[in-house]
Amino acid sequence: MLLPAVAVLLTVVISAGVLGGEQIRIQQAASASARELARGTDTAEVISTAKRIAGADVFVSLGAAAGYQQVHVATSVKIPLLGAIELSAEASARKETEP
């Protein structure tokens, strides 16, 4: 009688860990890509960096506003009992200029 409850609880705890790890990974990808974009790196290489860090199945969008370069990274994670959960991360970096 207690075994199904323990199994569900274990699934929820493991799923929370997977979601937390994935969120950290896509945030790191967004931050690294924003720094590269601010340095003037080619956009194809910036997207490649984000996909190398966060995985090939992420969606990456680039933008610029008010002197800042912006990167948005999004992905979907399939979790047992809950289905697909959408995660996203954003990062900005001030555009670097030569002195």
Does 70 reside within a domain?
yes
Domain that holds residue 76: 2-94
- Alpha carbon 20 to chain centroid distance? 11
Decide if pLDDT at 99 tops 70. Answer: no
Q: What is the pLDDT of residue 82?
A: 82
Averaged pLDDT score across all residues of the chain: 92
Residue 47 included in any domain: yes
On whether residue 67 sits in a domain, the answer given is yes
Domain count for the chain: 1
Its sign, for the CA torsion 97, 41, 62, 20, is negative
21-61 confidence digits (pLDDT tens): 999 999 999 999 999 999 999 999 999 999 999 999 999 99
Identity (one letter) of the amino acid at 78?
Answer: K
C-alpha 71/C-alpha 46 separation (Å) is 9
DSSP run (H or E) holding 3: helix 2-39
Q: Which range among 4-8, 45-49, 51-55, 68-72 shows the weakest confidence by mean pLDDT?
A: 4-8
